[in-house]
Amino acid sequence: MELQTNDESIVRRKRWLSLMTGLLIAFLVICTLLSNTLYALTLPKVTTQVVGQGPLDQTFKGSNVIKPVEVRDVTGQAGWNVKKVLVRGGDVVQQGQSLVQYSNDEAEQQLVSEQAALKKLQLSVEKLEYDYILSERNEDNGTLLAAKAALKSAKIDISLQQQHILDLQAKISSYQVMKAPFDGIVAAVNAKEGVSAGVGVPDIRLSNAQSGFQLELQIPSEIAESLTVDEVMDVHLPRQNNRVIEGKAASLVQADSAAELGISRLTVLLQDPSLVSGERAEVIITKKGKADTLLISSAAIRKDHTDTYVYTLEERKGPLGNAFYANRRTVTVASSNEHVAAISAGLFNQMSVIVESSERLLEGSRVRVLTK
């Protein structure tokens, strides 16, 4: 009986020991899991994205004020004073139309003096003709030859003086009035009555209406690569209820200065009778991308003094579950817009990249992945 009691006591102790051992193991497992969970909560939180394929359409929107293709500065003759201004800024003028009248007292006085000199020459001819007739009557050959030569010389002088006066009159006539060299619009009027012509600034600035207008834009070179000279594009006019007119790419020049690296200068030619110099115009250009381009969020791209890179997500299996780590990978960005970047080297399709993180990441950092 006593032996049986001892056996039962041993069995109870073994059961108690097994129970305590199980409870201890369970406690350790729970503590391990709990500590692992608590540790995971301290890890940097990241959001990820899977690398995909598709076209990256880049859109450029730019605006500027339109300017005449040809602007010519016209000024009166130096030394001539503005007598009367016949046009105002914004006036439409025709070729040959008078713009400004000028006056010059010295030129007018010179013309009067030259005309007086001509009259004196004409009076001297009458005396020489009389001497010639008198020599002829006296049959004095020597005197006759001298009178004849003097008469011819005087007539030559008169002819030269008459031509000189005609030239002076034509010059004065051309200087007295400035005329429009072509059909155009008066862009600026600087001439002031009573002031000498061309003092510091041109008297009149004319824009050539027949040459049209131009819009100059600075666009990214990667957008410019998709354009060609003479390519037609839509141009929007905000002041005219966003009316759309046709524009043509007139020139496309790669900027060569360091400050404008990656920029091209685009000139768009516009032909529309409603356009006004200084009016703002807008152009929207879209470049179609390749269908198999690797795409990721632009927010995933990081840069430092060495290169451009992203952090990819690496999953490692462990006894307590899978763990995730950040791996730095150098990439080449072919092009990008505000939201998406096209990658030409460094990544593969379906790779997971880290888009955002709650803390600064380092190579090999363990992270906690947030699910959206």
Highest mean pLDDT among 27-31, 142-146, 199-203, 278-282: 278-282
Quickly state the pLDDT bin for 267 (edges 50, 70, 90): very high
In the prediction, which pLDDT does 142 show? 66
Give the type of residue at 230: D
Q: Is 327 helix (H, G, I), strand (E, B) or coil?
A: strand
pLDDT at 136 over 70: no
Tokens coding 315: 């999953």
pLDDT (mean) for 214-236: 87
Q: Buried b / exposed e across 264-294, counting CB within 10 Å, b at 16+?
A: bebbbbbeeeebeeebebbbebebebeeebb
In the prediction, which pLDDT does 268 show? 92
* Main-chain phi, psi angles of 363, to 5 degrees: -60, 125
Query: What is the Cα–Cα distance from 193 to 308, expressed in whole angstroms?
Result: 65
Q: 284 or 39, which is more confident?
A: 284
pLDDT (mean) for 227-254: 89
Query: What is the Cα–Cα distance from 92 to 88, expressed in whole angstroms?
Result: 9
pLDDT (mean) for 205-226: 86
In the prediction, which pLDDT does 309 show? 92
The pLDDT mean for the chain works out to 82
**Cα atoms found within 13 Å of the Cα of residue 110, Cβ hemisphere only:** 13
84-98, 249-263, 318-332: segment of lowest average pLDDT: 249-263
Contact 357, 44 (CB under 8 A): yes
In the prediction, which pLDDT does 216 show? 92
Q: Which residues contact 1 (CB under 8 A, 6 or more apart)?
A: none
pLDDT at 128 over 80: no
pTM, entire model: 0.56
In the prediction, which pLDDT does 101 show? 92
Among candidate residues 11, 15, 49, 101, the one with its CA nearest the CA of residue 343: 49
**Helix 141-176 to helix 105-138 angle, to the nearest 10 degrees?**
160
In the prediction, which pLDDT does 141 show? 66
Tokens coding 167: 């030239």
Burial of 308 (0-12, 13-18, 19+ CB in 10 A): middle
* Main-chain phi, psi angles of 43, to 5 degrees: -75, 155
pLDDT at 262 over 60: yes
88-97, 243-252, 299-308, 335-344: segment of lowest average pLDDT: 335-344
Measured over the CA atoms of residue 99, residue 101, residue 107 and residue 108, the dihedral's sign is positive
Q: Is 80 helix (H, G, I), strand (E, B) or coil?
A: coil
Beta strand spans in 199-242 (E): 204-208, 213-220, 232-237
In the prediction, which pLDDT does 139 show? 63
Quickly state the pLDDT bin for 33 (edges 50, 70, 90): low
Structure-token match 């000279």, residue found: 229
In the prediction, which pLDDT does 27 show? 58
Give the type of residue at 135: S
Q: 10 or 104, which is more confident?
A: 104
